[in-house]
Amino acid sequence: MALAFVVLDGHQHDRAGFSCGVAALDDYLLRRAGRHQRDGIATTHVLVDDTDPARILGYCSLSAAQLYLHEMLERDRRRLPAYPVLAIRVGRLAVSQVQQGKGYGQLLLGHAVNLTVAVRQSMGVRVMIVDAKDAEVAAFYEGFGFRRTAGAALTLYLPVPG
């Protein structure tokens, strides 16, 4: 068994067989992720096991975004220009119910951070952003260094290392 991250392929991956227990996240993967990918709105990265590559263990969707300086903590605004900073938004992150508790959420987040660092090296990105659905999810992200923005209690950001 070897885990791999791949970009969602609607012809290969079993989106209908995925359930994380949150209807909105399941519906996104089933009905909108493919269209968003085709339209350049977001990319969806799925975690699969090479022994059953059609089965989705978890996924995250990423898109371009921006964060206004006044939303950041003072220490993170130093030396930044007076306009919004470029960002990568983790739009959704979910792990299959039967796979929860195995650390796959952490793996998916690590994958998203790695992709963001790679983008920063080629075109400049300052932060990752996530809109947590509730306080429990916000605490998950805070455990990895995400900071709450000034304006929205459940919007968090992570400065991306250079």
Catalytic residue among 28, 59, 104, 141: 141
Please, which residues bridge with residue 65 across strands?
A: 87
Q: Hey, how many other C-beta atoms are within 10 angstroms of the C-beta on 110? A: 13
In whole angstroms, give the CA distance from residue 139 to residue 141.
5
Question: Residue 88 corresponds to which tokens in the numbers above?
Answer: 């990568």
The sign of the CA dihedral 7, 58, 23, 132 is negative
141 belongs to the catalytic site: yes
Please give the full DSSP string across 26-95, using - where no structure is assigned.
Answer: HHIIIIIHHHHHHTTS-EEEEEEETTEEEEEEEEEEEEEEEE-GGGS-HHHHTT--SSPEEEEEEEEEEE
Nearest alpha carbon to residue 62 among 14, 116, 23? 116
Enumerate the active-site residues.
141
